[in-house]
A and B are shown apart, each in its own frame.
Chain A
């Protein structure tokens, strides 16, 4: 049984057990290792991707239900030449430490800022409840995100 997945605009064919999680397939089969496997239970947010524009914990999504859906992973967000506004703010404020939680943070807030261009500190923190970080203690990440002035579409 082959599942055709559309990831970051590209087609990938998967031939394994379709009950496997999207996270496992991304990392092990397609070597898209930007999404991180940390808690495997949907609490930490390190595996978050976008599916049809919605935040999804990829560790909890069986790959067999994803045919026909648009999957965006961290590899599809920003580029070496041009970070997206969320990545740029985080880089400008020099908030990254070990880095493992940041792909998930970027995915969450890339989506969040599309519908919340001018959030309060509380809004940002509430949106961060599903992105746990062990290194930074969060507040500097929040400061960086609050500095984002949304002028147009986030891509």
Chain B
């Protein structure tokens, strides 16, 4: 039994231990995955009075199970591992791009898919919109309950979910789709995106768009789907130019947030470009 007294790091050997520690210690402990969010608390000027329940040694959270029907990814899989594992999957390509382009090499080694999902206050995640368009479902578990929910429901509820609950696995259904992820920064590297966009769809024999899904992050406080553009694109002939124009019409669905990285109007201004670049990518341009 791990020593849970005092403020320190508790290394949970398995999921049960982690959940028990979080339940017993309540608000005096927080789960730690890759550490890249938690360890920056001082820079955000937040107190770190809590103990860390580290998940890094929990084997069952680290694997990726692949079947023809679906991919099930453990919450502790890093961005780097994810990018490698997904390298030949056109339908999950959005996730691969997000995992590969996010942040920088050392942070990609450390930051996990579970951590990305759980960082409620992080407004510019790359993985989350990619998971949204890929129809991810999130398995969560606490000491008393275990359930699986759609990613949108998870994102909407995450700030009020029980503190002694952990994301354990992410299920990704496979299908005959193509997906991609576009991100826009001010520089060419090394920063959070000012706006990003994931897109998944299929193009039928007539060149028409079927089943479009589009998700956007960093433009508002929380990532979400771009429903109005999905509706506008459904059934349309796939065209980069037309997509840009439709996106310009539908950008009004968003309210751009002002931040030290960029003003809100700018995030909205670049969204149509991200959408058309994404479509061009999926058309194989």
Contact = CB atoms under 8 A, between A and B. Distances in A.
Q: Indicate yes or no for A touching B, C-beta below 8 A.
A: yes
A116 to B, nearest CB: 12
A21 interface: yes
B7 interface: yes
A59 interface: yes
Contact of A61 (B35, B42, B51): B35
B9 A61 contact: no
Interface stretch (B100-108, B170-178, B212-220): B100-108
Given A60-B110, A130-B105, A17 B11 contact: no
B21 interface: no
Give chain A's interface secondary structure class: mixed
Given A40-B43, A65-B56, A129-B189, A57 B11 contact: no
Contact of B36 (A42, A48, A55, A127): A42
Contacts of A64: 8-9, 11, 52, 54
Contacts of A130: 103-107, 190
Interface in B39-73: 39-40, 42-43, 48, 51-52, 54, 56-57
A94 interface: no
Interface residues of A, number: 29
A85 to B, nearest CB: 19
Q: Which of B11, B48, B103, B104 has the most CB of A within 10 A?
A: B104
Contacts of B109: 54-56
Nearest to A69: B56
Interface of B: 3, 6-9, 11, 32, 34-36, 39-40, 42-43, 48, 51-52, 54, 56-57, 103-107, 109-110, 189-191
Interface of A: 1, 17-19, 21, 40-43, 45, 48, 54-57, 59-65, 67, 108, 126-127, 129-130, 132
